[in-house]
Amino acid sequence: MSRHTMLMTLMGGLVLGTGCPDVYGKGGKLDRAMEKDIDELHGERKRELRMQGVEMEEDEEGSCPEDKVEVRDCTSLSCKVECQ
């Protein structure tokens, strides 16, 4: 392979392989678009659960005393929480 061909191949690989950091980089356009899509999906799921009567708590704190353990039974649509 001649030096010219090798140099052109290397330059082509660099141009095509690095991409645009404002699009593909961390915090770029694709990251922001994916984050927006995920937020929309979470919002849709929360609305579906509210329509079915399932309440979701954002910041769940243990309601059991320190000497007992919280046990969740989520086999049905609404989870049952017991302290044992």
Residue range(s) defining the domain that contains residue 71 = 20-54+67-84
Residue 11 within any structural domain of the chain: no
Between vectors from CA 34 to CA 30 and to CA 40, what angle results, nearest 5°? 150
Count of structural domains, the chain: 1
CB 79 within 8 A of CB 53: no
* Identity of the highest mean pLDDT range in 10-19, 30-39, 45-54, 71-80: 30-39
Residue 59 within any structural domain of the chain: no
Residue 50 within any structural domain of the chain: yes
Residues 6+ apart with CB under 8 A from 61: none
Residue 2 within any structural domain of the chain: no
Whether pTM exceeds 0.75: no
Residues 6+ apart with CB under 8 A from 23: 29, 30
CA 20, chain centre distance (Å): 23
Residue 78 within any structural domain of the chain: yes
Residue 41 within any structural domain of the chain: yes
pLDDT (0 to 100) of residue 59: 43
